[in-house]
Amino acid sequence: MNRVIPPLLCTLMLPFGSVSASQDCARWGDFSTHANTKMTTLNTPSQNRLSVTGQLVYRPLLMSDKFYWLGLQLSSAKLILDDTDIQARYYSVPFAIKIALHSGDILGYHFAAKLKPEDEQKLIAIYQQFHIEHLKNYNLQSPKIIEESDNLGRYTVRYQRLENGAIEKHKLQYTMTTQGSQLFAFKKPEIKQDTFTFTTSECWIERFNGLNNTRVESDKGDIRIDVTQTIKYVSKLEPIATNIALMSLPMDPHKWPQLSVESVYPKPLPVPLSSEKAFSALLLNQDLRALSSDELLQLLYDNQIYLASLHALIKQQAFEDKQLSRLLLMIGKSDSVYAQELLGTLYLDSELDKNQRFRSLMALKYAQQPLPETLIDKLFDHIDSDELTQTDTKLARTALMVMGIIAKNQANSNFAEQLTASLADRLVTTRDTYKQATLLNALGNSADSTHQESISKFLDNNNATLRATAAQALGKMPNDVSLSYIEKSLKTESNSKAKQALLSAMGNNQLSEAQVEDVLKFAQKHQGNEVRVAAINAVAKQSNHKKDVIEQLKPLLKQERDQQVLRALMQAIHGNK
DSSP per residue over 396-430, as a string? HHHHHHHHHHHHHHTTTSHHHHHHHHHHHHHHHH-
Q: Does residue 191 fall inside a structural domain?
A: yes
For residue 131, name the pLDDT band (cuts at 50, 70, 90). confident
Q: Does residue 573 fall inside a structural domain?
A: no
Domain that holds residue 150: 18-252
Q: What is the domain-level CATH number for residue 217?
A: 2.30.230
Q: Does residue 349 fall inside a structural domain?
A: no
At residue 196, the pLDDT reads 94
Lowest mean pLDDT among 121-130, 473-482, 484-493: 121-130
* Mean pLDDT, rounded, for 199-216: 90
Higher pLDDT, 7 or 527: 527
Torsion of CA 390, 392, 397, 402, to 10 degrees: 150
Q: Does residue 281 fall inside a structural domain?
A: no
At residue 21, the pLDDT reads 38
SS3 169: strand
Q: Tell me which residue of 191, 217, 187 sits closest to 41, measured CA to CA.
A: 217
- Say yes or no to pLDDT of 470 above 60: yes
- Say yes or no to pLDDT of 525 above 80: no
What's the sign of the alpha-carbon dihedral 307, 308, 312, 314? Answer: positive
Distance separating alpha carbons of residues 292 and 499, to the nearest angstrom: 46
* Mean pLDDT, rounded, for 337-355: 97
Q: 18-51 as b/e, with b when 16 or more CB fall inside 10 Å?
A: bbebeeebbbbbebebbbbbebbeeeeeeebebb
Q: Does residue 401 fall inside a structural domain?
A: no
Average pLDDT, the chain: 90
- Say yes or no to pLDDT of 263 above 50: yes
Higher pLDDT, 395 or 410: 395
Higher pLDDT, 222 or 408: 408
Q: Does residue 423 fall inside a structural domain?
A: no
Q: Does residue 550 fall inside a structural domain?
A: no
- Say yes or no to pLDDT of 429 above 90: yes
Distance separating alpha carbons of residues 89 and 223, to the nearest angstrom: 31
For residue 296, name the pLDDT band (cuts at 50, 70, 90). very high
- Say yes or no to pLDDT of 7 above 70: no
Higher pLDDT, 103 or 183: 103
Q: Does residue 347 fall inside a structural domain?
A: no
Lowest mean pLDDT among 280-294, 366-380, 392-406, 440-454: 280-294
* Mean pLDDT, rounded, for 263-276: 93
For residue 181, name the pLDDT band (cuts at 50, 70, 90). very low
* Mean pLDDT, rounded, for 543-570: 84
The count of structural domains within the chain is: 1
- Say yes or no to pLDDT of 19 above 60: no
Q: Tell me which residue of 264, 299, 106, 130 sits closest to 198, measured CA to CA.
A: 130
